[in-house]
A and B are shown apart, each in its own frame.
Chain A
């Protein structure tokens, strides 16, 4: 069965404390692995697409990486404004959404 599992469900960091969010996926015919940021009460905002194992993408303090079974979203020296829910999405024959990781960054 196709599925996307994100961990942890919630992550609390101090400002400047780097960490990683995990996304494990089992999807038939993977065409792309997507990361989105979602703020409370708003729609998801597109961050990255990764298409093949070994690929990496960076944007400000965020870096996304992809293996054949997992994707990681690394957050370097986070700031309070990075607090949000981060969604992992696997695009295959169907599009499967993970439940998200809620990130809280305290000043």
Chain B
């Protein structure tokens, strides 16, 4: 089955620790995205990548880092500089060409909490 796999489902971070959230897709999509979801708010864009070895900051990139070494993978690192990391993190991907590139498909999410 084609889709987007996020892991782990739940993650706990200690003070001063960096943690990495995994996102893998087998949809052959060029573009991938990371969003943060907080209660009562719309999804906010952290980082996005339209092609391998290239990525751009979104609206709330501070305290986060990403890499895009393979088309299938777009891991997100939440660094110790992110002072309020508790949230639900969603990874998405979209295709290229015509209207298909506008539709984003999402993974099941990772819930990050601070110990």
Residue ranges of A at the interface with B (Cβ–Cβ < 8 Å): 4, 9, 31-32, 34, 36, 41-46, 49, 51, 87, 89, 91, 95-100
Contacts and interface: CB of A to CB of B under 8 A. Distances in A.
Contact of A43 (B41, B42, B90): B90
A87 B35 CA distance: 14
B104 interface: yes
Interface string B72-115: 00000000000000001010100000010011111111010000
Interface residues of B, number: 22
B51 interface: no
A66 B53 CA distance: 37
A4 B106 CA distance: 20
A4 B42 contact: yes
Given A34-B103, A91-B102, A44 B41 contact: no
Contacts of A32: 99, 102-103
In this complex, the member of A9, A36, A45 whose beta carbon has the largest number of chain B beta carbons within 10 angstroms is A36
A104 B111 CA distance: 23
22 contacts: A4-B42, A9-B40, A31-B99, A32-B102, A32-B103, A34-B102, A34-B104, A41-B111, A42-B108, A43-B4, A43-B6, A43-B106, A43-B108, A44-B106, A45-B106, A46-B104, A49-B99, A49-B102, A49-B103, A89-B104, A97-B35, A97-B44
